[in-house]
Structure 1
Amino acid sequence: MKLFWNILRVLLAIFMIYAGAQHFVNVDFFKAFVPDFLVYKAFIIYASGVIEVMLGILLLIPQYKRTAASGIFVLMICFLPIHVWDVFSANPAIGSHEAALIRLPLQLVLIALAYKFTKNQ
């Protein structure tokens, strides 16, 4: 069973690193996710990308995995309102209502996984 959770942890780390890297490759895509009342959208996108990549890397290092998982948990909780808003938006930032409906449960899975990895295994 430990092997199963280690594989999931590595997959989550890869996902976080990939998603974080996308913040640098697809800046325009992520601009729609940043609420209009926030200024310096590009900075927010780059900063969140750096944080995601760092947390993904730290999740791969055994002595930092709990700290990284806690950071991912907090980050995913912070992003949750954006994805809920997207489901009910007339023009979802992610592109379509179908994509928004898929992304919201995925966000909940990411939150649950991160929470699981904050616990002793």
Structure 2
Amino acid sequence: MKIIQIVLIYLFAFLMLAGAFNHIYAPETYKAFIPNFIPEQLANILSTIAEAIIGIALIIPKYRKWAGLGFAILMILFLPIHIWDLTREIPAIGSKVGAMVRLAVQILFIAAGWWIYKSYQSKN
């Protein structure tokens, strides 16, 4: 079980760091996901910072508990965007099925962040 958890933690760290990099390298990738009332550049900057901090913290065992909680909170903050995308006539992800899968994955990510947090709660 421990090896699966470590692999998942490093996978999530990679996803967070790759996402942070992509917000800088190709911010237009996220344009369709950002509601009109949120400034696009601000959303990309804040997402970059949050994802980079969480990604780095997941790698460092001392901060892993808080990174798990941060990951869960960030995924909760992104949840309304995925719900909103699912309700659009043409989702940013391309199809209703794709949007439903993305929403399901988002919920799994929330659970995974909470699992990391709870797993490391007694260790710090």
Superposition TM-score, scaled by structure 2 size: 0.88
C-alpha distance after superposition, 1:32-83 (max 9, x if no partner): 2111122x31121122122102211110100000111111111100100110
The Cα of 1:15 is off from its aligned counterpart by: 1.2
CA RMSD of aligned residues (A): 1.4
Q: Is 2:89 the partner of 1:101?
A: no
Write the distance in 2 (CA, Å) between the matches of 1:94 and 1:23.
17
Write the distance in 2 (CA, Å) between the matches of 1:79 and 1:119.
21
Write the distance in 2 (CA, Å) between the matches of 1:95 and 1:25.
22
Paired residues, number: 120
Amino acid at match of 1:24: I
Which residues of structure 2 form unaligned runs of 5+?
Answer: none
Write the distance in 1 (CA, Å) between the matches of 2:94 and 2:24.
19
Work out the percentage of aligned pairs sharing the same amino acid: 37
Which residues of structure 1 form unaligned runs of 5+?
Answer: none
Write the distance in 2 (CA, Å) between the matches of 1:120 and 1:96.
36
Amino acid at match of 1:13: A
Write the distance in 2 (CA, Å) between the matches of 1:117 and 1:76.
14
Q: Name the structure where helix makes up a greater proportion of residues.
A: 2
Aligned residue for 2:87? 88
Aligned residue for 1:22? 22
